[in-house]
Amino acid sequence: MTDVIRLKDITVFGFYGVSPAEREVGQKIQIDLDIHADLSQACRTDSLQDTINYESVYSRVMEVVGGEKRYRLLESLGDEICAAIIASFTVSKVEIRLRKLNLPFPNNLSHVEVYLVREAPVM
């Protein structure tokens, strides 16, 4: 059984993209995270130490997106975020959705979304 802690619509600003204009001007992206873990102990104890502190998860995401590395692809950024969460917390799986909202297309397209799933190594 896996339980899920979900962080929705984390909005960050960065210099993501393939085109020079995207990398120069920067843009907002939105991130959703589904963090799969066994939360049964936390349900019994009502203790923060027995769960995954979502404030710490949020901080870890901010460390990755605010770091020195610039990402051309949402795929690369998403993979890096998943790896950071798996390395920092006891999770079984991380699902991430990254949405680029400001697209250089002339017609109606609200966003582009990349969806990745990463599983923690079995110990």
Active-site residues, by number, are 100
DSSP 92: S
Cα–Cα separations (whole angstroms), residue 10 to 36, 39, 62, 66, 98: 18, 22, 9, 13, 9
Between CA 110 and CA 48 the distance in angstroms is 37
Strands 3-14 and 93-100: unpaired
Strands 27-37 and 3-14: antiparallel
Between CA 52 and CA 40 the distance in angstroms is 12
Length of the chain as a residue count? 123
